[in-house]
């Protein structure tokens, strides 16, 4: 039997690790293998909820979709969610452990590594192939000691590694050769070959470089993947503002805050050809105007009170009020929903310094942060625009919100009201993430904003199409036989 575990590491962040792992998961699933994605340690503010109420990185949820397997906390045993430049919430096996700074977590890594290996052991027992995604680059010298995300894991699990680099950014040969040179001898031997990602142009012009690379390193190039235009795969953390708008009917802006989380909430809106959604970044000039829009959406946050203070410091709170006076709509998701209220109280300092912050005062709610995090997949009835359509989503939040007035609920979940809509129908908010992934919800949102758009496509269908397209491309351009032979050879020499 070939080796169960294959790891993909990158020369840089955003080299293509996530998408290559997703492609391999789908390819192996097509071959009839029971395949699991795995990322030992992930630092990201985009996450998903497993069926058993745990939390993992959004990228591993996409990879599980590609593998046609249900989500498991073992796919991402350690998730780090930054709360500030120095602190992060540490999530182990899907549940919040505690917040730590870099020094504290470095000391804790040995214990965290046990959680990583426990998960990998369980996956080995239950799956026939495990495809592992590294984090960042394995050649970060300052992070080598106690590494559990890249070669530290590969050495402990004794698995082979594919190294991927992005040629679109330039310097691909330097990235590959330099990364390899900074690895130890045993780690270098673990690399079974290279993949070059996002190539544009005539491959024959690249051939001399490929031959040199193979001769210089004595390792094969396992594939050169072309640049795939219009590929809609949920991003691990990067915010992408590129859109292809055919005919704008609905203009949406999302103010970007330092700890904005789950920005993948907006993916389904961004791919609709008639919805122009723009992420708006802070200007160097305070009170510089937000662009004109039909709708402002306040996103979730990993540090709600700090992000609320950021919004006020930019003068965005005043501009939101102006937007409302001119008839615009405002919607809040999770932390953004909490910001719309009267107060946010964090008595235990769960997201930073303990204290109370005055909200934007736009909804009659008040929120207190509690240690127990709500993690659940939900089916709901959405009541926007007087319609009652079934949608799906998920909750990830610490806050417990009290409603100070009897206003219409945004949605009903298992017979219970959640969220709120203002009397004047201009402001709404609730805790459900992924709300726009359902095409029903997008159509209701457009009706609420008093515009008409063409029928939406569900994000799940869009993502499935992207995964199939990605897997087809990799089947064509990857030397899958060489990878399989390398795995078989690895198993024979490491038993």
DSSP string across 154-214: HHHHT--EEEEEEGGGS-HHHHHHHHHHTS-HHHHHHEEEEEEEEE-S-GGGTHHHHHHHH
Q: For residues 401-428, give the mean pLDDT.
A: 96
CA–CA separation, 314 and 332 (whole Å): 18
Give the Å distances, CA to CA, from 447 to 69, 201, 277, 387. 35, 44, 17, 9
387-397 pLDDT, tens digit each: 999 999 999 99
Q: Would you give the distance in Å from CA 89 to the centre of its chain?
A: 16
173-203 pLDDT, tens digit each: 999 999 999 999 999 999 999 999 999 989 9
- First-last CA distance in the chain: 11
* pLDDT for position 495: 66
Say if residue 109's pLDDT is above 90.
no
CB atoms within 10 A of CB 345: 16
Per the CB < 8 A criterion, the answer to whether 131 and 19 are in contact is no
Torsion of CA 388, 394, 395, 401, to 10 degrees: -10
442-483 pLDDT, tens digit each: 999 999 999 999 988 888 888 999 999 999 999 999 999 999
Q: Identify the three-state secondary structure at position 103.
A: helix
48-63 pLDDT, tens digit each: 999 989 999 999 999 9
Phi-psi region of 93 (alpha: psi -120 to 50; beta: other; left: phi over 0): left
- Read off the pLDDT band of 132 (50, 70, 90): very high
Q: For residues 350-362, give the mean pLDDT.
A: 94
- Read off the pLDDT band of 32 (50, 70, 90): very high
Q: Which of 12-16, 236-240, 333-337 has the lowest mean pLDDT?
A: 236-240
Say if residue 240's pLDDT is above 80.
no
* pLDDT for position 216: 97
Question: Strands, E, within 352-388: which ranges?
Answer: 355-358, 365-382
CA–CA separation, 467 and 67 (whole Å): 10
* pLDDT for position 491: 82
* Average per-residue pLDDT for the chain: 92
Beta pairing, strands 329-333 & 295-298? parallel
Say if residue 383's pLDDT is above 80.
yes
* pLDDT for position 2: 57
Torsion of CA 6, 8, 258, 251, to 10 degrees: -100
Q: Which of 84-93, 335-344, 418-427 has the lowest mean pLDDT?
A: 84-93
* pLDDT for position 232: 75
* Contacts of range 61-65, beta carbons closer than 8 Å, 24 or more positions apart: 61/234, 62/18, 62/22, 62/233, 62/234, 62/463, 62/467, 63/18, 63/21, 63/22, 63/25, 63/37, 63/131, 63/133, 64/25, 64/36, 64/37, 65/460, 65/463, 65/464, 65/467
Residues assigned a catalytic role: 334, 433
Per the CB < 8 A criterion, the answer to whether 332 and 429 are in contact is yes
């Amino acid at each position: 039997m070939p080796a169960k575990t294959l790891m993909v590491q990158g020369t840089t962040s955003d080299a293509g690790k996530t998408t290559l792992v997703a492609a391999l998961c789908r390819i192996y699933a097509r071959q009839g293998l029971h395949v699991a994605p795995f990322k030992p340690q992930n630092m990201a503010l985009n996450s998903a909820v497993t069926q058993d109420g745990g939390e993992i990185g959004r990228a591993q949820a996409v990879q599980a979709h590609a593998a046609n397997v249900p989500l498991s906390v073992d796919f991402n045993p350690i998730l780090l969610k930054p709360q500030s430049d120095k602190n992060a919430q540490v999530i182990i096996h899907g549940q919040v452990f505690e917040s730590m700074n870099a020094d504290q977590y470095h000391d804790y890594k040995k214990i965290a590594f046990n959680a990583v290996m426990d998960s990998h052991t369980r996956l080995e027992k239950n799956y026939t192939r495990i495809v592992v995604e590294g984090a960042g680059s394995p050649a970060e010298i300052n992070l080598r000691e106690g590494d559990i995300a890249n070669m530290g894991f590969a050495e402990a699990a004794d698995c082979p590694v594919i190294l991927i680099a992005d040629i679109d950014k330039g310097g691909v040969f330097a990235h590959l050769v330099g990364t390899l040179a900074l690895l130890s001898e045993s780690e270098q031997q673990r690399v079974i070959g290279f993949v070059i990602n996002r190539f544009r142009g005539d491959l024959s012009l690249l051939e001399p470089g490929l031959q040199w690379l193979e001769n210089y390193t004595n390792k094969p190039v396992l594939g050169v993947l072309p640049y795939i235009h219009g590929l809609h795969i949920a991003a691990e953390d990067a915010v992408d503002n590129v859109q292809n708008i055919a005919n704008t009917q609905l203009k949406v802006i999302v103010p970007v805050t330092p700890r904005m989380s789950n920005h993948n909430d907006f993916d389904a809106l961004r791919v609709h050809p008639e919805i122009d959604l723009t992420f708006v970044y802070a200007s160097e000039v305070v009170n510089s105007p937000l662009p004109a829009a039909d709708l402002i959406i306040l996103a979730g946050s990993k540090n709600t009170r700090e992000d609320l203070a950021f919004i006020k410091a930019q003068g965005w709170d005043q501009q939101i009020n102006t937007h409302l006076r001119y008839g615009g709509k405002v919607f809040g998701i999770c932390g953004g929903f909490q910001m719309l209220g009267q107060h946010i109280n964090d008595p235990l300092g769960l997201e930073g310094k303990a204290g109370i912050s005055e909200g934007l005062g736009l909804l009659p709610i008040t929120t207190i942060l509690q240690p127990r995090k709500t993690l659940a997949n939900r089916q709901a009835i959405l009541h926007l625009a007087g319609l009652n359509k079934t949608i799906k989503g998920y909750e990830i939040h610490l806050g417990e919100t009290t409603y100070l007035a009897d206003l219409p609920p945004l949605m009903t979940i298992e017979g219970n009201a959640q969220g709120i809509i203002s009397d004047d129908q201009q402001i709404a908010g609730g805790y459900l993430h992924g709300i726009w992934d359902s095409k029903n919800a997008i159509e209701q949102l457009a009706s609420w904003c008093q515009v008409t758009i063409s029928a939406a496509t569900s994000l799940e269908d869009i993502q499935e199409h992207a995964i199939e397209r990605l897997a087809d491309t990799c089947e064509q351009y990857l030397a899958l036989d060489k990878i399989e032979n390398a795995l078989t050879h690895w198993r024979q020499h490491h038993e």
